[in-house]
Amino acid sequence: MAEITASLVKELRERTGAGMMECKKALTENNGDIDAAAEWLRKSGLAKADKKADRVAAEGRIAVAQNGGKAVLVEINSETDFVAKDENFLAFANAVANAALTSGATNVEGVKAAKLASGETVEEARAAAIAKLGENIQVRRIALVDGNNNVAAYVHGGKIGVLVEVKGGDADLARGLAMHVAAMNPPHIKASDVPADFVAKEKEIELAKMSDKDKAKPADILEKIISGKIAKIVNEVTLYGQPYVLDTNQTVEQVLKAAGAEVVSMQRLAVGEGIEKVVEDYAAEVMKQAGLA
């Protein structure tokens, strides 16, 4: 049997991120073959990953990669914000974004199959990250744009990511609009995008809120009052209708008109949105374990 030296264990640790004893065992099991030992550890990591797969991962980061008019955002989730700030997790998230961009993947499954610069797939690297960091890690979502227009990819604090494609204008305008979308989160781009059933429901609500005196006004006057209220609501839920965050004296539509530009598309990802987070009551759990509750 080959001698398992300290330098060999150290090399395997640096290569895989596994613990010293795990590396020594892997080398022993594989007769000192470092490649076989690395594969052995990866298989062990996959087993650990399976055990953690049902744990809620609602924290994490939005990572971005861009090359001209082609840009991608990926949401990578972890169980805790502590791990989301770990340099290994951040490196993994950035590597995934770059792999998604270069591979041309259009969905999560495509991202998972994409190859990293190291030669391993994203899914293989994810399993290794789980083994190293000890938490469930998921590649949850991807947003992408590939156009011939001005494209801005903006990430705020690692938690909110935005892609905006603008026809006309310039890169600064596109970036400003991406910052606006990050801050204001408009559901729609323009009034024509707002669903008719939403408008009808808002009309019903506004009419119900009116006093009997207002309801008794002539139909044309009543319609003007309701229309004014609905226009205000529509402005609040559309990018074009909102005051521009970088110049609140103008609406986004006015800024775009002055630049001779229009927004082609916008996408926004926020870490953990839509995931039901588990609120842990550690005090109650300890009491239960101790038979005091």
pLDDT, tens digit, for every residue of 217-257?
Answer: 887 888 888 888 999 999 999 999 999 999 999 999 999 99
Beta bridge partners, 74, equal: 63, 142
228's CB contacts (< 8 A; 6+ apart) are none
Average pLDDT, rounded, for the chain: 87
Torsion of CA 86, 91, 96, 101, to 10 degrees: 130
Percent of the chain past pLDDT 90, that is, above it, reads 57
Report phi then psi at 276, rounded to 5: -80, 115
Over residues 255-262, mean pLDDT: 97
Q: For 241-252, what is each residue's pLDDT tens digit?
A: 999 999 999 999
Nearest Cα to 23, choosing from 52, 127, 32, 49? 32
Residue, of 275 and 129, whose pLDDT is higher: 129
Write down the pLDDT at residue 58.
76
160's CB contacts (< 8 A; 6+ apart) are 62, 182, 268, 269, 270, 271
Q: For 35-57, what is each residue's pLDDT tens digit?
A: 888 778 776 664 455 555 556 66
Nearest Cα to 42, choosing from 140, 121, 99, 109? 121
Write down the pLDDT at residue 284.
56
What is the C-alpha to C-alpha distance for residues 251 and 43, in angstroms, rounded to an integer?
55
What is the C-alpha to C-alpha distance for residues 225 and 169, in angstroms, rounded to an integer?
36
What is the C-alpha to C-alpha distance for residues 138 and 275, in angstroms, rounded to an integer?
12
Domains of the chain are: 6-52 (1.10.8.10), 59-146 (3.30.479.20), 191-254 (no CATH)
Write down the pLDDT at residue 77.
94
